[in-house]
A and B are shown apart, each in its own frame.
Chain A
Amino acid sequence: MTPTQKIPAAVSMEEARRLAREHKDPGALLALVPYAVFLGLRMDLRDLAAPVLHLPFKPSLIGNAALPAIHGGVVASFMESAALMHLLLMLDERRVPKSIDFSIDYLRSAQAEDSFAACAVERLGRRVAQVQIRCWQSDAARPVALGRAHFLLDADAPA
């Protein structure tokens, strides 16, 4: 068993969000989610109203060496991470939203190239957010996968 360490977040969530929004620097926000860093996730914040999540290709993401194709599980966890980062950026939550469920439809096999995701919060309640996620590669008109997720929000936090 690998010993786990408590990795302190370098800056608070509020500060990380401010850096992302005001300086378009997503580094501290991504550091709040170690698995997003493990995958190699990046955030394109040129349009703050429509952030694009970017997963640069690396050989370790391959799930089928013969094709080669990116692992379907990687595509799914990229899209889940994308939804989470989207919420962290767009909402003023004081803790990382908790995943309730996630569903993905695979439309095409993901090639050995960079992947992108855009999210839309289709329903934002006091306690639950519903997020739609679209993932594509070289051609944004031909999505690789579509996903949706529910997240539990921190209802006790002041608005």
Chain B
Amino acid sequence: MTPQDFYDMLRRTYATSVPHVGELGIELIRVDGRAVEARLPSKPEFLGDVEHQLIHTGVVTALIDSICGLALIAHIGKPTRIATLDLRVDYLRPSRPGKDLNCRAECYRLTEQIAFLRAEVWQNDPATPVASGMGAFMRTARPGEDGRLSGLI
């Protein structure tokens, strides 16, 4: 399997292997070893503040968590079991309904057992992100042992 075959497989199986992703409606734009990009079209159910028309920050966090996990598996380049250790998200600007949430995540440091990911979320312009996230992940399969493709937690 070439790296491109693996990215294509991740892209095809993502929505069906992760039920919550299907329910949210996350769509993958780009999947490769450098980054994953996705968009999440707005839904009325995503509101956190009806009066002020703001999207709930939990939606943004779920998007970041999910795309970071996928970016890590794509970066490793083969089926791997992973677990999120921690995640921190800064909400830089309000997210407004009626516009997509766009997310880009990348792994910027990978060791035998631990990976460090960062992600940004924007609506109109990548230069004005609505949120910025950082997370640490663990490879749960032992070093040298291939996990099955089941790690998209």
Q: Could you list which residues of chain A lie within 8 angstroms of chain B, going by C-beta atoms?
A: 1-9, 32-39, 59-67, 69, 71-74, 76-78, 80-81, 84, 95-96, 98-106, 109
Size band of the interface chain B makes with A: 35 or more
Residues of A near B56 (CB, < 8 A) are 33-36, 77, 80-81
Residues of B near A95 (CB, < 8 A) are 49, 51-52
Cβ-Cβ contact count across A and B, 8 Å cutoff: 166
Could you tell me which residues of chain B, from 7 to 65, have a CB within 8 Å of some CB in chain A?
A: 17-23, 41-59, 61-65
Kindly list the 10 A-B residue pairs having the minimum CB-CB distance in the complex, ordered from nearest: A77-B58, A73-B62, A66-B150, A35-B56, A73-B65, A38-B45, A4-B97, A71-B20, A99-B57, A96-B49
Residues of B near A99 (CB, < 8 A) are 57, 91
Knowing that A63-B20, A77-B58 touch, tell me 20 more A-B residue pairs with CB under 8 angstroms.
A6-B53, A9-B51, A32-B50, A34-B56, A35-B47, A60-B22, A60-B23, A62-B19, A62-B20, A63-B152, A64-B152, A73-B62, A73-B65, A81-B56, A98-B49, A99-B91, A104-B88, A106-B85, A106-B87, A109-B83
**Whole-angstrom distance between the alpha carbons of A146 and B17 in the complex?**
26
Residues of A near B46 (CB, < 8 A) are 34-35, 38
- Residue B146 at the chain A interface, CB threshold 8 Å: no
Known: A35-B46, A71-B153. A96 touches B51 (CB 8 A): yes
A78 near B58: Cβ-Cβ < 8 Å: yes
- Residue B102 at the chain A interface, CB threshold 8 Å: no
**Whole-angstrom distance between the alpha carbons of A107 and B88 in the complex?**
15
A7 near B47: Cβ-Cβ < 8 Å: yes
- Residue B77 at the chain A interface, CB threshold 8 Å: no
